């Protein structure tokens, strides 16, 4: 295990014990201030008020627009390489909160092409994961009038022309410096596709503040996009970012991953499976015996069951503070805390699963969330492509 000061954070890997303050210096982001937290729509989301979202880039224009009723957008996406776990879902529920509280337009790109380039999986496998992940996103409960879901392969008629135009603004040296040596030429080009995702709301609906709430390892995508947006030929604002800490994996604080040996809590898990995973695998901050725990207490700051409640699943601030205090003074045992976390997470996921089961055929459910023909034309025209309506009329 690397020493505490030795860690690596990139969009494709997170290794070592992450120092979040040091990351701010490395990435050049700013710490989220108390004043900025107060300016989020009331009631402020737990992810904000408990400092899970802890850093930002150019957040103030988004907050100003959200509070004044001016146009503003949010982009948060999904790379469909497997079933979704609880670490994947909380940014989408955060986006839903802003949509309901402030009327935020939400764009959700699905980077199925990137996952094919990055993972040792077939196109068919990635497509299967895409369909299943889409059903989970639809179960979140977004407003279709203010939400657009864009799948790179299915919406290539928009994504790739725009990415080609933006790709002219990104040098290979920038890609290498930001991401390291790409594994293939597809990944070399992919930052242009990511920039397309983040600028698409403005290309479709006009210049407006846009926020990208992401885990801190995804910040390089935003940095490259901000460089592209700063070019004079693009009439767009640089997207802002809201950077979060990692939801802990069951084996201890750090990034929850679906690719390591430790099981993740899947959105499809039933109550008993959730209980078994937490009881068996969740790292404990407690002592080695009940007597010792009663005497010395535990450490909620490293206890995964507590952290899952703190980060997202327990909405009541007073209760989450009380649990921490009871754990520290030894009156709350590790097993009791695990049982509470398992029950709370199961309650949340059962509601999500019920909404998912009520969905109809995917094509029917997804249609209201797709870009319209006019929105596709608008995006291409904004980036400089001519209107192709005459060509279509000639072919009819």
Place of tokens 């996952």: 115
Residue 154 confidence (pLDDT):
96
- HSE-CB at 327 with a 13 A cutoff on CA atoms is 26
Q: So what CATH class is 19-244?
A: alpha beta
User: Which strands sit side by side in the sheet containing 53-57, from one edge to the other?
Assistant: 30-31, 53-57, 240-244, 210-215, 73-75, 105-110, 147-151
pLDDT tens, residue by residue, 244-271: 988 888 987 655 454 456 789 999 999 9
Q: Which two tokens stand for residue 318?
A: 């007073």
Q: What is the mean pLDDT of residues 128-132?
A: 97
| Residue 289 per-residue DSSP state | S
Percent of the chain exceeding pLDDT 70 equals 90
Buried b / exposed e over 156-165, threshold 16 CB at 10 Å, is eebbbbbbeb
pLDDT tens, residue by residue, 177-221: 888 888 899 999 999 999 999 999 999 999 999 999 998 888 889
Place of tokens 């009663």: 294
On average, the pLDDT of the chain sits at: 90
3-state percent helix, strand, coil for the chain, nearest multiple of 5: 55, 10, 35
Residue 388 confidence (pLDDT):
61
Return the closest-CA partner of residue 86 out of 288, 295, 250, 284.
250
pLDDT tens, residue by residue, 89-114: 999 999 999 999 999 999 999 999 99
Neighbours of 361 (CB within 10 A): 8
**One CATH from 3.40.50.300, 1.20.950.20, 3.40.710.10, 1.10.240.10 for 271-357:** 1.10.240.10
Return the closest-CA partner of residue 233 out of 284, 265, 199.
199
Residue 394 confidence (pLDDT):
47
- The ranges assigned to domains in the chain are 19-244, 271-357
Beta strands in the chain (DSSP E): 7-10, 13-16, 30-31, 53-57, 73-75, 105-110, 147-151, 210-215, 240-244
Check whether 3 has a pLDDT greater than 60. no
Would you say the pTM of this structure is higher than 0.85?
yes
Check whether 1 has a pLDDT greater than 70. no
Residue 391 confidence (pLDDT):
45
Band (14; pLDDT cuts 50, 70, 90): low
Q: What is the mean pLDDT of residues 363-370?
A: 98
Alpha helices in 168-303 (DSSP H): 172-179, 185-205, 219-229, 271-281, 290-296
19-244 and 271-357, same CATH topology: no
Q: Which two tokens stand for residue 91?
A: 């940014």
Contact between 256 and 282 under an 8 Å Cβ cutoff? The reply is: no
Parallel/antiparallel/unpaired status of strands 210-215 and 30-31: unpaired
| Residue 144 per-residue DSSP state | G
Q: Which SS3 state, helix, strand or coil, does residue 139 take?
A: helix
Q: What is the mean pLDDT of residues 50-79?
A: 96
Q: Using alpha carbons, list the distances in angstroms from residue 292 to 208, 282, 287, 295, 333.
A: 57, 20, 6, 5, 11
Residue 147 confidence (pLDDT):
98
């Amino acid at each position: 295990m690397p020493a505490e000061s030795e860690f690596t954070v990139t969009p494709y890997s997170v290794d070592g014990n992450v120092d979040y303050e040091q990351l701010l210096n490395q990435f050049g982001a700013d710490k989220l201030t108390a004043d900025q937290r107060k300016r989020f729509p009331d009631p402020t989301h737990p992810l904000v008020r408990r400092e899970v979202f802890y850093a930002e880039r150019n957040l103030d224009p988004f907050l100003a627009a959200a509070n004044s009723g001016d146009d503003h957008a949010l982009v948060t996406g999904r790379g469909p390489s497997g079933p979704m776990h609880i670490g994947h879902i909380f940014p989408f529920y955060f986006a839903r909160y802003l949509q309901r509280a402030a009327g935020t337009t939400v764009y959700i790109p699905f980077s199925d092409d990137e996952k094919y380039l990055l993972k040792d999986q077939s196109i068919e496998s990635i497509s299967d994961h895409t369909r299943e992940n889409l059903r989970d996103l639809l179960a979140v409960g977004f407003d279709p009038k203010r939400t657009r879901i864009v799948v790179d392969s299915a919406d290539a008629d928009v994504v790739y022309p725009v990415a080609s135009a933006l790709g002219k603004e990104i040098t290979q040296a920038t890609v290498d410096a930001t991401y390291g040596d790409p594994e293939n030429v597809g990944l070399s080009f992919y930052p242009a596709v990511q920039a397309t995702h983040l600028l698409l709301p403005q290309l479709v609906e006009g210049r407006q503040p846009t926020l990208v709430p992401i885990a801190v390892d995804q910040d390089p995508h935003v940095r490259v996009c901000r460089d592209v947006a700063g070019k004079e030929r693009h009439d767009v604002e640089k997207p802002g970012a809201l950077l979060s800490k990692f939801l802990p994996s069951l084996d201890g604080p750090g990034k929850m991953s679906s690719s390591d040996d430790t099981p993740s809590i899947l959105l499809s898990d039933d109550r008993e499976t959730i209980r078994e995973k937490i009881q068996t695998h969740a790292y404990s901050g407690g002592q080695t015996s009940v007597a010792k725990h009663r005497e010395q207490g535990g450490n909620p700051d490293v206890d995964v069951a507590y952290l899952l409640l703190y980060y997202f699943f327990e909405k009541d601030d007073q209760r989450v503070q009380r649990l921490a205090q009871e754990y520290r003074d030894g009156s709350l045992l590790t097993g009791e805390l695990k049982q509470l976390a398992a029950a709370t997470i199961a309650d949340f996921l059962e509601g999500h699963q019920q909404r998912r089961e009520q969905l109809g055929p995917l094509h029917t459910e997804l249609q209201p969330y797709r870009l319209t023909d006019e929105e596709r034309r608008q995006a291409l025209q904004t980036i400089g492509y001519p209107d192709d309506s005459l060509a279509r009329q000639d072919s009819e």
